[in-house]
Chains A and B, each alone.
Chain A
Amino acid sequence: MTIIDKTMSVPGPRGGSESDGPLLEVRDLHVEFHTRDGVAKAVNGVNYTVDAGETLAVLGESGSGKSVTAQAIMGILDMPPGRIPQGEIRFRGEDMLTMSNEERRKIRGQKIAMIFQDALSALNPVLSVGYQLGEMFRVHQGMSKKQAKAKAIELMDRVRIPAAKERVNDYPHQFSGGMRQRIMIAMAMALEPDLIIADEPTTALDVTVQAQVMDLLAELQQEFNMGLILITHDLGVVADVADKIAVMYAGRIVETAPVHELYKRPAHPYTRGLLDSIPRLDQKGQELYAIKGLPPNLTRIPGGCAFNPRCPKAEDICRTDVPVLHQVSEQGGGEIAGRGSACHFWKETIHG
């Protein structure tokens, strides 16, 4: 059995040209929050990489640390109470955590952009949409007002907002939820970044609109060959667009897999439980499988595997030893590319 915990995501010897490595690499990231009730360990050693043109879906429930990781990458964590005691976030090989604020600001917005769940609160209600879109060009590229506005209209057209020319001077509240999310996407796309982080981009939208927005996002991603980190709790949304998935639980990645693999044969009891607990649209099931218990309190994460109190397979070792992310292999022994499971009993889970 090969252990791929940290070593797996480490690229070859350093010093190679920048374009060789992955676009973004998160290495052993830890984030904690100091609260009155103690230290909440929100992220406990996360590793992942995203390449250009690739979509990584980070799947997890509330409190799994999926959004906190993204905020750490964007550098928009509230510090304090937040703190990053260790870890690296490498963008094109450079560690963003050690660079100066100035350098970091240059990356944020221009190279890495973010899309939020709640577009209404992410847009400034007193400025027109056109002004906010144009701002990107005025500030970062020094365009004139007129040029910026033309650019804004172009962007609104790109994200297929009907009658962009007439609506460029409208305010955010005058748009519907789906349209606002498109504006958010337009804003993120404005400077043609290399990486987009989308935090629950469609959760607040209706199903019929969700599909439109996800399609748009996927299309733009392909066109610009961007990396995309899609953060979500919805197994359905992930299945549609992701290339690879990282499942998070209590601040750790418990399973990584290419999208098809994960749904066919989950290698972690948590993933399996999640998949079994969603009702099916195409058939009427019997009683739903329910993962027992609750997600752990981040100030008191259980010892050993954090999932052990809720796990049907838990044994003594799970209460004492933290499982590393094991390389998952076929029954015959052949490694399955890109698959890892942080479970002591991954073999039994995937094959048994």
Chain B
Amino acid sequence: MPDTSSTTLTATEETAAAPADVVKTEQRKPRSLWGDAWFELRHRPMFWVSAILLVILLLIAAFPGLFTSADPTKGDLTNHFLSKPELTHFFQPDWFGYDGQGRSIYARVIHGTRNSILVGVGVTAAVTFLGGLLGMLAGYFGGLIDSVISRLTDIFFGIPFLLGTMVVLNAFTDRKVYVVVLALTFLGWTSIARVTRSSVITAKQADYVTAARALGASTTRMLFRHVMPNALAPTIVVATIALGGYISAEATLSYLGLGLSEPAISWGIDISEASKAIRDNPHALMFPAGMLTLTVFAFIMLGDAVRDALDPKLR
């Protein structure tokens, strides 16, 4: 129990707050809102399932050599299609069978992971940077800047995403990863810009921003210290959920022959090729398609978990 002798005003609040606070400090140290979000996240099975999947996928993307020694580009026509998957030959080149040109499907699936993840992460990073920056400028400064950026956003938003990207990509003959990333970013930044703009507008109206302004804080300080940290959550949520979408967009483009170009390895290209012989050799389609679905699923699930943790109101 607190001592009762302290009757000064300075101590009044403490005396009563003490008993409850002793317990409080023991079980929880200073907890930031990010810390709270992490706490929420840690308590979601969905987060752990997607996290484990993503760790494996990232490992595959970073070190494909760890998972297979086979060369995904080397075709041996003796293996051509005919050998069916040997489902017991774990991690062997013939685990998933061979494709039409006698290349190991397992090796191709493994080596294709890097490009898919690179495109997904690359587009998300670029889109978040570009859209986030434009949205922040529009939301924070308002006025003419806002009008110009918002109209620009509307114009880009009006262009059909896949169609527009295809038109852009058609101009390139050698389509490397960065080309696809740039093409998807070119039309993909609008939704992030919109979300960021509105959350920045909400954040900048808060009293603590006014308080900083009253103290004479600089624009950079208000923007990066007060507005941005409080406006970031919705942007992160939208970006995480969109990541899976970019991966499937890349596969779609590759399927249509407008994504990555050979000899780059991509699930989309494999799906496209396998679809030609789907009746006799469905397995050639199943494995790359399955990997794609699993990856997109993992990212979307992560996005959902992040949203629930960062923005409980949206649930």
Contacts and interface: CB of A to CB of B under 8 A. Distances in A.
Interface of A: 290, 292-294, 296-297, 300, 302, 309-310, 319
A293 B21 CA distance: 12
B15 interface: yes
Contacts of B19: 302, 309
B295 to A, nearest CB: 32
A300 B16 contact: no
B23 A294 contact: no
B17 interface: yes
Contacts of B210: none
A300 B20 contact: yes
A297 B17 CA distance: 10
A294 B12 CA distance: 10
Contacts of A300: 20, 23
8 contacts: A290-B9, A292-B13, A294-B16, A296-B20, A300-B23, A302-B20, A309-B2, A319-B1
A292 B20 contact: no
Contacts, number: 26
A290 B16 CA distance: 13
Nearest to B2: A309
A297 B23 CA distance: 11
Contacts of B20: 296-297, 300, 302
Contacts of B23: 300
Given A292-B13, A302-B19, A309-B15, 16 more contacts: A290-B9, A292-B15, A292-B16, A293-B12, A293-B15, A293-B16, A293-B17, A294-B13, A294-B17, A300-B20, A300-B23, A302-B20, A309-B16, A309-B19, A310-B16, A319-B1
Interface in B1-49: 1-2, 9, 12-13, 15-17, 19-20, 23
A296 B16 CA distance: 9
A291 to B, nearest CB: 9
A288 to B, nearest CB: 11
Nearest to A300: B20
Interface of B: 1-2, 9, 12-13, 15-17, 19-20, 23
A299 B103 CA distance: 63
B310 to A, nearest CB: 15
A341 B19 CA distance: 25
A313 to B, nearest CB: 12
Contacts of B12: 290, 292-293
B27 to A, nearest CB: 9
B33 to A, nearest CB: 14
A278 B77 CA distance: 93
A302 B16 CA distance: 11
Contacts of A302: 19-20
Nearest to B40: A36
Contacts of A296: 20
Q: Which 8 A-B pairs have the closest CB atoms?
A: A293-B16, A292-B12, A309-B16, A310-B16, A297-B20, A292-B16, A300-B20, A294-B17
Nearest to B39: A36
A185 to B, nearest CB: 30
Nearest to A311: B16
Contacts of A309: 2, 15-16, 19
Contacts of A290: 9, 12
Contacts of A294: 13, 16-17
B3 to A, nearest CB: 13
Nearest to A301: B20
B308 to A, nearest CB: 13
Contacts of B15: 292-293, 309
B9, B15, B19, most chain A CB atoms within 10 A = B19
Nearest to B6: A292
A279 B216 CA distance: 35
B180 to A, nearest CB: 43
B10 to A, nearest CB: 11
Contacts of A297: 20
Nearest to A319: B1
B2, B16, B17, most chain A CB atoms within 10 A = B16
B86 to A, nearest CB: 49
Contacts of A319: 1
Nearest to B21: A297
Contacts of A310: 16
A41 to B, nearest CB: 14
A310 B4 CA distance: 11
B89 to A, nearest CB: 48
A319 B20 CA distance: 14
A74 to B, nearest CB: 23
A250 to B, nearest CB: 12
A300 B26 CA distance: 14
A50 to B, nearest CB: 33
A296 B18 CA distance: 11
B314 to A, nearest CB: 17
Nearest to B7: A292
Nearest to B11: A292
